[in-house]
Every structure is written in structure tokens, then in C-alpha cells.
Amino acid sequence: MHWGTGILSATIFAFPHNLYKDKKGDLKLGFSFPLPFLTSGIYYWYLNRTRGFSFAFFSHSLNNLEVVVAIIGNQISRKNNEVK
């Protein structure tokens, strides 16, 4: 395995996760470095190299699903708290 390739790939994977929209709606790049996305990018690269693309893809998809469920749960919780 070439860890340099994995780290470079993970860095490229991490930076788009640091984009945000300002008050005007313009897309900006944040100044902080998204370390959690870098480490997960390295992990998915490692899975791809050791277990194959399908395994890495499924793991990444499962992680994304977890985030979506958390966001939906948060929105439902906020709506329920507003009603009271």
C-alpha cells in the first residue's frame, strides 16, 4: 500500500466537506481543517485497498445514512419542542 496516495486522496476528500454558504449564499471554504473527514477518508481508502471498493462504498454509505437519520431526528425533535 502507498500511504502517501491514501493521505493525498483523503485530503482531497476532506476539503469539500469544509465548504459552507455565507449569509449572501456564496460558497466559501472554511479556515479550519476537517480532521474527522480526513481520518474517515483514510479509513475508506484503507478499506478499499484491503477489502475492495464495494466494502468501502457500503461503509461510506452507511456512515452517510447515519448522518441523515440524525439530521431528520433532530428536525423532528425541534418540531415537537416548538409545538409544546
Task: Quote the pLDDT of residue 19.
Answer: 83
Query: Cell numbers of 3, please?
Result: 500511504
Instruction: Provide the 10 A C-beta neighbour count for residue 14.
Output: 19
Q: What is the spatial distance between Cα 69 and Cα 11, in angstroms, rounded to a whole number?
A: 26
Task: Quote the pLDDT of residue 84.
Answer: 59
Q: What is the spatial distance between Cα 23 and Cα 42, in angstroms, rounded to a whole number?
A: 32
The type of residue at 8 is L
pTM for this predicted structure: 0.72
Query: Cell numbers of 19, please?
Result: 465548504
Q: Which residues pair with 27 in a beta bridge?
A: 21
pLDDT tens-digit readout, 9-43: 888 888 887 888 888 888 887 777 788 888 999 99
Residue range of the domain that includes 44: 3-83
pLDDT tens-digit readout, 38-74: 899 999 999 999 999 999 999 999 999 999 999 999 9
What DSSP character marks residue 19? E
Work out how many domains the chain is built from and give that number.
1
Mean pLDDT of the chain: 88
